[in-house]
Structure 1
């Protein structure tokens, strides 16, 4: 019954300015650095058998701040989805692209121009987590805890697999910057123990300083790439 703690990297400069980073070497902004340190405080004292990470700089920076005494192992299968021509563009602009509706409503059919299929991203990420889980369980026993640092859409895909739901439903899942998601893998089925846990008080859910506006279908869109998180957290 090995358990993985999935950590999304802290908020980045791309998250803050509303652009889609993809594989670009963006770093954490000031808020993201604080989030990473706070995640490290929450992980203090947890006996982690192994730490695995995406190769991208924002994940490495998050771990360096959260777990400075740990040398993570890199697995390229945990890298962010390859958004191809979408990388570096503003999400507001991308939301007008016809592909946006496919990404929102039928992501298993979405292929980014010059990039990766969301279904392929899901398959390699799930394969990586399940392979590492089996390996760590064999080395450290069934009660071992281990940690993987990755990206919003990647973690959402792993959670969807653990819940036994189709990839087309993964946009209903939220994974905010520096959040912790915990999955316990057993011989017969996984159990999602925690999801998108930032440790933030529920007061963070209350809108701040927003004028009343008419709701639109855009309110139902998921943040491609994971987004910048809930304001005020």
Structure 2
């Protein structure tokens, strides 16, 4: 067999996954944002992602260290010991109380929390700034892509953190966070070749519902609906 005239560049594959569904408000909700754990639905989403990735030769798993990410990683790739990198943690909210929902008079403000109009100084519910999140996620992504110890890796992280990572890959502005959705349990695929920019090949793929037939709300809309009781808060396993 003759050799190809042009050998394509070898690319490594990086899967970026959002954790499965959790209950932030209502029955089964944790007392803090960082302690939230998977619901029954979240476990099903993680299992579906595990089945989707079962044939992939993933040799490296990284999580944010938060319980919901750890649980998801364990269900997706139970045979691999995950490494924790806290730079992949979700943006930290300031005013967070799972016993009460948002002020109905401020719903418009809450639903615009991810933009448009974000600046590095904008804060998530009065907590961490988006500039801080974008910087730490960018460093985590750069360090991971520079690490030659893996061939195909999986990062299990969070909605806003993953949007930030995708923007770094795409070279997009911080205010683009509001233009990318990350549904619970979704998968993104980024490929990396030495000396070249990241190649984004897949965004927000949800194995249990690839056609998005049952996914009509944005992440913030779902959060608000759960808080207001418009959606039943799922029970934890």
Calculate the TM-score normalised by the size of structure 1: 0.78
- How many residues align? The count is 210
Give me the whole-angstrom Cα distance separating, in 1, the residues matched to 2:174 and 2:117. Answer: 8
User: Do 1:80 and 1:150's aligned partners in 2 also have CA atoms closer than 8 Å?
Assistant: yes
Aligned to 1:120: 132
Aligned with 1:28: secondary structure? coil
State the distance in 1 between where 2:61 and 2:40 align. Answer: 24
Which of 132, 144, 150 is equivalent to 2:144? 132
Q: Which of residues 114, 117, 133 in structure 2 aligns to 1:106? A: 117
The equivalent of 2:204 in structure 1 is 196
RMSD of aligned Cα (Å): 3.1
1:34 Cα shift? Answer: 0.6
Separation in 1, partners of 2:192, 2:69: 23
For residue 158 of structure 1, what is the aligned residue in structure 2? 165
Deviation at 1:107, TM superposition (A): 2.1
Partners of 2:45 and 2:123 in 1: CA distance: 32
Q: Distance in 2 between matches of 1:90 and 1:223?
A: 15
Give the Cα separation in 2 of the matches to 1:87 and 1:185: 40
Cα deviation for residue 105 of structure 1 reads 1.6
CA–CA separation in structure 2 for the residues paired with 1:36 and 1:76: 21
More helix, by proportion: 1
Unaligned runs of 5+ in 1: 208-218
How far apart, in 2, do the equivalents of 1:11 and 1:185 lie?
Answer: 29
Match of 1:185 among 192, 195, 198: 192
TM-score (norm 2): 0.76
2:14 match: secondary structure: strand
Query: Structure 2 regions of 5+ residues with no counterpart?
Result: 1-10, 226-230, 232-237
- C-alpha displacement at 1:224, in angstroms? 3.9
The Cα shift of 1:59 comes to 0.5
CA distance in 2, matches of 1:33, 1:118: 29
Q: 1: distance between equivalents of 2:190 and 2:222?
A: 19
Residue in 2 aligned with 1:212?
Answer: none
CA contact (8 A) 1:53 1:149 kept: yes
**Alpha carbons 1:86, 1:94 under 8 Å: kept:** no
Distance (Å, rounded) in 2 between the aligned partners of 1:52 and 1:206: 27
Contact 2:113 2:125 in 1 (8 A): no
Do the aligned residues in 2 keep the contact of 1:99 with 1:110 (CA within 8 Å)?
Answer: no
Q: Distance in 1 between matches of 2:45 and 2:86?
A: 24
